[in-house]
């Protein structure tokens, strides 16, 4: 067989088909269905499709439904043992057989998922025969190791592993975001040097978000400052239609939160931007999360107290509904 494995299985369309048909089986599986309590499998299908395209080296724009970088991390919150792994593999094997890939691809896919599912339940000694899949799997495991190293504070190892992903811009942005979030000085220096050394880092995205969204959400003032100095648009929208200012108001309970909000506003962030499904402003989110100091910065910068979200609620309504009494009082007093 010539061409990449991705081409062999029908490109991005083949990945979507595999994911859709697989989750069609999972939806009826008594062992696996309880892991997916929602009515629809849409998110799971999208995430798994994005993973397959990313894993097989496909178009970055089609990989933005990812949420997690590391396979181990994405499964850590579930209790997955031998029974669950066997059910998963049986559904996957039945899907691969039913789709009617060529015989070689069927064999390679089966072997790959057999090994990968063992890895998910803790088996490190996985071996993949297909060369293309084997080298991609080795990179996938490096990614898991990189995330582990970041979490454990092993900065040298984390940075060395991260550099291996420079040629994979989406994953690289995801890793830089995680290094920024760690807040460790060497990691921040590394992220800064990467931004200054390769201007494309600022425009790529992981999970539909830019590095400015991630750094804002995690209150990383150093990286936010560097990105703004490099001319990154402070009003850029993520996949959900939200700005970096929304990210800091929604996600950042750290002391640096108000400083990040100020830096974004000074660079031209629109304090009254309201996008996404809920049409919420940054002030709605600060109110909802009880981020008082950020709310003060937003109000000082002219954030509207009368802004209405898609439910017709103002920021003070949000604060009251979410029992954030301090911020409800602050908003009511203004
Ligand atoms: C061992 C059996 C496995 C079980 C029981 C299992 C179960 C799950 C569950 C419950 C989710 C969460 C879905 C959600 O959050 O809505 C998930 C997500 C996911 N699984 Fe598995 N899984 C298994 C093996 C695998 C394997 C072998 C792979 C890849 C080769 C894989 C790739 C993924 C991906 C990419 C996601 C989405 C993570 C993201 O947000 O990016 N899983 N899995």
**How many angstroms does the Cα of residue 232 sit away from the middle of ligand 1?**
34
Residue 123 has pLDDT above 80, yes or no: yes
- Are the C-beta atoms of 31 and 39 separated by less than 8 Å? no
**How many angstroms does the Cα of residue 320 sit away from the middle of ligand 1?**
37
* pLDDT score of 15: 97
Atom of ligand 1 nearest to the CA of 44: 16
Residue nearest to atom 40 of ligand 1 (CA): 67
What is the distance between the alpha carbons of residues 262 and 132, in angstroms, rounded to a whole number? 47
Residue 258 has pLDDT above 80, yes or no: yes
Residue nearest to atom 43 of ligand 1 (CA): 75
* pLDDT score of 334: 85
What is the distance between the alpha carbons of residues 226 and 166, in angstroms, rounded to a whole number? 19
**How many angstroms does the Cα of residue 78 sit away from the middle of ligand 1?**
10
In the chain, % of residues over pLDDT 90: 92
Instruction: Kindly state the DSSP code that residue 206 receives in the 8-state scheme.
Output: E
Atom of ligand 1 nearest to the CA of 35: 10
* pLDDT score of 1: 54
Atom of ligand 1 nearest to the CA of 51: 35
What's the whole-number mean pLDDT along residues 131-135? 93
Per-residue pLDDT tens digits for 305-323: 999 999 999 999 999 999 9
**How many angstroms does the Cα of residue 152 sit away from the middle of ligand 1?**
23
* pLDDT score of 127: 87
Atom of ligand 1 nearest to the CA of 120: 1
What is the distance between the alpha carbons of residues 254 and 262, in angstroms, rounded to a whole number? 14
Report domain extents, the chain.
1-148
Q: Which residue has the tokens 């989750």?
A: 23
- Match domain 1-148 to its CATH number in 3.40.50.970, 3.40.50.1370, 1.10.490.10, 1.10.357.10: 1.10.490.10
**How many angstroms does the Cα of residue 312 sit away from the middle of ligand 1?**
37
Q: Across all residues in the chain, what is the average pLDDT?
A: 95
How far does CA 120 lie from the centroid of its chain?
Answer: 19
Per-residue pLDDT tens digits for 194-229: 999 988 899 999 999 999 999 999 999 999 999 999
Q: Which residue has the tokens 């942005």?
A: 173
Q: What is the DSSP string of 138-193?
A: HHHHHHHHHHHHHHHT-HHHHHHHHHTTTTSHHHHHHHHHHHHHH--HHHHHHHHH
Contacts of residue 265, Cβ cutoff 8 Å, sequence gap at least 6: 245, 271, 297, 301
Secondary-structure percent of the chain, ordered helix, strand, coil, rounded to 5 = 65, 0, 35
* pLDDT score of 126: 77
User: Collapsing DSSP states into helix, strand and coil, what is residue 278?
Assistant: coil
Q: Which residue has the tokens 């992903």?
A: 165
Residue 236 has pLDDT above 90, yes or no: yes
Per-residue pLDDT tens digits for 13-23: 999 999 999 99
Label residue 2 by pLDDT band (50, 70, 90).
low
Q: What is the pTM of this model?
A: 0.93
Ligand 1 site residues (CB inside 6 A) read 35-36, 43-44, 47-48, 51, 66-68, 71, 74-75, 78, 80, 84-85, 88, 113, 116-117, 120-121
What's the whole-number mean pLDDT along residues 167-188? 96
**How many angstroms does the Cα of residue 74 sit away from the middle of ligand 1?**
7
- Are the C-beta atoms of 6 and 56 separated by less than 8 Å? yes
Per-residue pLDDT tens digits for 69-121: 999 999 999 999 999 999 999 999 999 999 989 999 999 999 999 999 999 99
């Amino acid at each position: 067989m010539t061409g990449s494995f991705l081409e062999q299985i029908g490109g991005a369309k083949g990945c979507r088909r595999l994911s859709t048909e697989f989750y069609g089986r999972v939806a009826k599986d008594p062992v696996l269905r309880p892991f997916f309590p929602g009515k629809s499998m849409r998110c799971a299908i999208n995430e798994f499709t994005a993973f397959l395209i990313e894993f097989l080296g496909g178009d970055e724009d089609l990989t933005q439904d990812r949420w997690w970088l590391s396979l181990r991390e994405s499964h850590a919150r579930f209790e997955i043992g031998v029974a669950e792994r066997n059910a998963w593999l049986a559904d996957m094997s039945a899907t691969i057989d039913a789709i009617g890939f060529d015989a070689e691809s069927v064999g390679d896919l089966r072997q790959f998922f057999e090994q990968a599912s063992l890895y998910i339940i803790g088996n490190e000694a996985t071996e993949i025969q297909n060369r293309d899949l084997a080298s991609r799997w080795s990179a996938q495991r490096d990614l898991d190791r990189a995330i582990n190293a970041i979490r454990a504070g092993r900065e040298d190892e984390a940075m060395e592993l991260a550099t291996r992903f420079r040629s994979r811009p989406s994953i690289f942005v995801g890793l830089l975001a995680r290094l920024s979030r760690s807040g460790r000085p060497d990691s921040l220096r590394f992220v800064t040097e990467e931004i200054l050394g390769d201007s494309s880092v600022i425009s790529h995205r992981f999970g539909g978000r830019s590095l400015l969204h991630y750094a804002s959400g995690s209150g990383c003032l150093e990286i936010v400052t560097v990105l703004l100095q490099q001319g990154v648009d402070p009003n850029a929208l993520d996949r959900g239609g939200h700005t970096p200012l929304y990210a800091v108001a929604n996600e950042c309970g750290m002391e640096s939160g108000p400083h990040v909000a100020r830096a974004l506003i000074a660079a031209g962030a629109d304090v009254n931007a309201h996008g996404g499904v809920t049409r919420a402003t940054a002030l709605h989110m600060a109110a909802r999360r009880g981020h008082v100091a950020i709310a003060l910065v937003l109000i000082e910068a002219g954030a509207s107290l009368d802004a209405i979200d898609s439910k017709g609620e103002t920021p003070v309504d949000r604060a009251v509904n979410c029992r954030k009494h301090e911020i409800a009082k602050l908003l009511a007093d203004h």
